[in-house]
Homo-oligomer: A and B are copies of this chain.
Amino acid sequence: MAKLTPEILLAFISIDRESSSPKYLQLYAQIRDAVVNGKLKPGERMPSSRALALELGISRNSVVTAYDQLSIEGYLTGETGSGTFICTDLPDFLNTADEKRIKERIGLLSGNVSKRNIRYEFPSSEEEMRLDSEGDIAIPFQLTVNDLSNFPFQIWSRLGARAFRQLQHKNLGYSDAKGYEPLRIAIADYLRVNRSIICEKEQILIVNGARQALHLAAELLIKEGDDCWVEDPGYPGVRNAVKRFGGEICPVPVTEHGMDIQYGQEKYPNARLAFITPSHQFPLGKVMPLKQRLELLKWSREGSNWIIEDDYDSEFRLKGRPVPALMGLDPNANVVYIGTFSKIMFPALRIAYMVLPDKETAERFTFMKTMVDRQNPLMDQLIMSEFIVEGHFLRHIRRMRLIYKNNQEMLVSLLVKYLHEELTVDSSDSGMFLIGWLREGLKAKTIKERANREGIVLFAVSDFSIENKIPEGLVIGFTGFKPKDIEHAVQKLTFIIKDMTHV
């Protein structure tokens, strides 16, 4: 190897004595950049650490440290005594890590995504995404948004601060993948009293939102090509979960009794799963009556088929008692129950739960949860369980029921007052939205588009349908908005619809 005079080559190195950056680091970075930029070539000999230290007026130790690091990283090579060299076997396409250049690249790449090789085909879930409202401001008439202005903010803040003040070491490590045990016990108690589900804490799995619950169920229960009943119209997120794991989407029409079980059995006799919202069908708002529930349970039991019961807003029974959950009716059927705190508490909490029909099934789901993200974060679960145990949860539910009931009544009376000729209100005894069926000639999608331009968020019933031809109707949320905003939005909507009918 040629013995070059390295002093010449290293003239570009300068050590800034005023800098807060250690001298060895400055040296390291400059040599590294010189290799990357081609200022130093493979095979070139480096000055000895002693010589370089002398040359630069720094300690020999600084040079040794820099050389060691560069050796570890493969820039330098050499044994003690025989000299230090720039690695000879560096390929010759070195790229600079220069900040400016990289930023330019990122900019350049921006229009260029096709270059990157993303293999996965996305299911379309635009509607699902649009259901989320970001931040704290809800826009009428978004669906299932929280009324955060009536959230017991002070209590939550106090419980959270207390939990952190009383933080314990055992709160920091990995813990039961099923979720925080006191929270699972509190949920089991809540479900027994309020949803007629008798279950033990071992059957409950805490997950990172109802969406994760749907996807875990789809992954564990759907085999490639399995026929899956989904409600038509129904929640688009379910279709994403089914498609993601290779299931066949089998749209089953929703009648006034919820999903039409007989249609499902005749049209898709081989179906292995049904995704349903029996307590408050999304978006039509119907309750599935006992007869249909029992038929569905029979179908499940006799065919060993799975029912995924999504109980997304059952807390908001505005009149009468909550309709008991399907799962509570038959412990022998294969029902997987999904509940969430996103609607009654707040979305950023990301706590939902599943109830599995027996402990072994629960173990399988827990294993899957472990594999995909190990467990939910702990502190929020701890705070949530205190919120329930101290009685705030039930108080909050009762309070929100009254508020949402008032909102609903107000919305209904406004719609009747202003739009009784154009729209028939179909409100149910529960939930966070209602349907306004349009009189003949009015198109929901047209109204929706006009309304969007005016700053109102509206959905057409048909936004949620797959192949079911249903009459023209609007899905109108009434939670999360102040009464005056509801009034203002109804007036705007009235103007839009009246304007359309006069043309």
Contacts and interface: CB of A to CB of B under 8 A. Distances in A.
A376 B349 CA distance: 9
A370 interface: yes
B132 A174 contact: yes
Interface string A172-210: 111110000000000000001000101110010001110
Nearest to A97: B328
Interface stretch (A291-299, A450-458, A466-474): A291-299
B330 A106 contact: no
Nearest to A352: B373
A346 B174 CA distance: 8
Interface string A102-125: 110110011011011111101101
Contacts of A116: 304, 334, 357-358, 360-361
A348 B378 contact: yes
Contact of A109 (B72, B118, B360): B360
16 contacts: A89-B291, A94-B294, A97-B331, A113-B360, A115-B304, A119-B223, A119-B226, A133-B173, A135-B173, A160-B163, A160-B164, A211-B374, A215-B372, A348-B378, A348-B379, A350-B376
Contacts of A448: none
Nearest to A24: B321
Interface stretch (A2-10, A151-159, A416-424, A489-497): A151-159
A434 to B, nearest CB: 16
A265 to B, nearest CB: 13
Interface residues of A, number: 140
Contact of A134 (B156, B176, B330): B176
Given A72-B323, A132-B174, 9 more contacts: A73-B290, A73-B323, A106-B203, A109-B359, A116-B334, A153-B169, A172-B349, A211-B372, A379-B379
Contacts of A477: none
Nearest to A330: B95
Contacts of A129: 370
A289 interface: yes
B173 A118 contact: no
Contacts of A74: 257, 288-293
A411 interface: no
B151 A172 contact: yes
A16 interface: no
Contacts of A165: 157, 161
Interface string A363-398: 010011011111111111000000000000000000
Contacts of A120: 219-221, 223, 364, 368
Given A164-B160, A174-B135, A244-B371, A320 B69 contact: yes
7 pairs of A and B residues whose beta carbons are closest in the complex: A74-B289, A160-B164, A74-B290, A113-B360, A172-B346, A119-B223, A348-B378
B196 A91 contact: no
A136 B169 contact: yes
A54 interface: no
A208 B212 CA distance: 12
Contacts of A198: 97, 99, 102-103
Contact of A72 (B105, B125, B320, B328): B320
A65 B321 CA distance: 9
A117 B334 contact: yes
Contact of A146 (B95, B146, B173, B360): B173
Given A173-B348, A198-B102, A360-B110, A73 B373 contact: no
A174 B118 contact: no
Nearest to A132: B174
Nearest to A175: B134
A389 to B, nearest CB: 18
A287 B148 CA distance: 50
A149 to B, nearest CB: 7
B87 A291 contact: yes
Contacts of A168: 136
A346 B240 contact: no
A25 interface: yes
Contact of A221 (B119, B199, B220, B306): B119
A226 B119 CA distance: 10
A120 to B, nearest CB: 5
Interface in A273-292: 287-292
B350 A373 contact: yes
